[in-house]
Amino acid sequence: MQAHTLPEDRLLAGPVLLDHRAVWVEAGRRRLLVRSLDAHGRTRTLFSTSKMPGAPKGALRPFFVDSIAAGDGQVAFIESVIPCTSAPPPHTGRCTSSAESQPTDSVTLFAGRPGAIRPVESLLHPSRHCQPPEPGAVAITGAGLVDYEVSAYPCGRGISRLVLRSFSGRLLRVLADGLPVVTRFVAAGDWVALFKSAQVVGEHDEVRIIRVKTGQVALRLHALQAFALGSSGKFALMTEPRRGPCPRLAASEVLSVGQIGRPGMHVLTREALEGPTTTALALAGGQVAYAQPTGSCAASSQVVVETPGAPPTPILGLKPGTPLVFDGSILATAHDDAVELATLRRR
């Protein structure tokens, strides 16, 4: 199944999966939408807003969203209002392409069930005043919202931290602080995996897996390229990129699976294709979704789902993309301004 954004809209974030539906955020000239696509090809609007806190009247294409999450029946995303110049289209273009260099009029964390999504935290003009740290990325766990927060300029003493908040926005626990200004993480179930990039030549990247309810570090992993985490504590990681006999192919990697609290890992394949981000790999239960080449010297690739001890199942018609999300029966990804969804056919 495939769904395109509405005319003149652009895809901002997603998809993620909620109740076997692909969910994403898109925006047009003056409003923002959260929409969904189910396995029958039906689309639905879950949320809509035209409010632009702090933006001058008549601002065009002001919405910027690069973080969306779903889980526990809820959707969460972080919206920034970043007005464009007053030049009329087509000169206005996609102002989000240089959003990092433009002043932000407001940052709002939205969360809730479809039909009841609401703002739970909002900051007005965060770049003009020293305020509490603003949300930068969000994930959903069974214990609440996991939020990466960072102080906006011109605060004299910056804060960069990962916190747990209730679904109403109340701060429950600081999970990690003193983080680099840009810190990636993924969360599922009772766990959050925090990524630390190597700062010195010869060191390896690290993933620190934290139990959300206690804030305790349960596991540290090193020397990885991509990582996925499941709600049961299972995880998958790619390591050891290597070049095969065909120069036109991307580097393939060793894909292994493990379980928090149990020693050792099981090698699933040595032919996983390297992805640009950790979201190019997905895990649900004991099944892993990833991209692999279609042949020993094929320039094309396909999405497959694999369980330890069984051959991989190709997902016909679904092109590898980023993000790649999987809930055990539904897979989804995005290409340009289109969302694609496929159902896993059981053998």
> What is this structure's pTM?
0.88
pLDDT (0 to 100) of residue 247: 55
Q: Is the pLDDT of residue 149 over 50?
A: yes
- Taking every pair of Cα atoms in the chain, the longest distance, rounded to a whole number of angstroms, is 60
Q: Is the pLDDT of residue 196 over 90?
A: no
40 part of a folded domain = no
More confident residue, 223 or 278: 223
Instruction: Name the CA dihedral angle for 236, 240, 242, 248, rounded to a multiple of 10 degrees.
Output: 40
Distance from chain centroid for Cα 48: 21
pLDDT (0 to 100) of residue 116: 93
269 part of a folded domain = yes
Percent of the chain at pLDDT exceeding 90: 47
pLDDT (0 to 100) of residue 66: 87
DSSP 195-247: EE---STT---EEEEEETTT--EEEEEES-SEEEE-TTSEEEEEEEEE--S-T
Closest-CA residue to 52 (of 44, 42, 62): 62
Q: Is the pLDDT of residue 89 over 80?
A: no
Q: CATH number, domain at 271?
A: 2.120.10.60
pLDDT tens figures, 131-146: 778 899 999 998 999 9
**Total domains, the chain:** 1
Cβ atoms of 253 and 239 closer than 8 Å? yes
Gap between the Cα atoms of 230 and 226, Å rounded: 14
55 part of a folded domain = no
262 part of a folded domain = yes
140 part of a folded domain = no
Q: Is the pLDDT of residue 106 over 60?
A: yes
Give buried/exposed letters for 212-227 (b at 16+ CB in 10 A, else e).
beebeeebebeebbbb
Q: Per-residue confidence at 156, pLDDT binned at 50, 70, 90?
A: low
Domain that holds residue 251: 225-347
| Three-state DSSP state, 104 | coil
Q: Is the pLDDT of residue 249 over 60?
A: no
Closest-CA residue to 160 (of 194, 183, 126): 183
Intra-chain end-to-end CA distance of the chain, in Å: 20
138 part of a folded domain = no
149 part of a folded domain = no
Q: Is the pLDDT of residue 340 over 90?
A: yes
Q: Is the pLDDT of residue 347 over 80?
A: no
Distance from chain centroid for Cα 89: 30
Q: Is the pLDDT of residue 94 over 80?
A: no
Q: Per-residue confidence at 244, pLDDT binned at 50, 70, 90?
A: low
Which two tokens mark 11? Answer: 């895809």
63 part of a folded domain = no
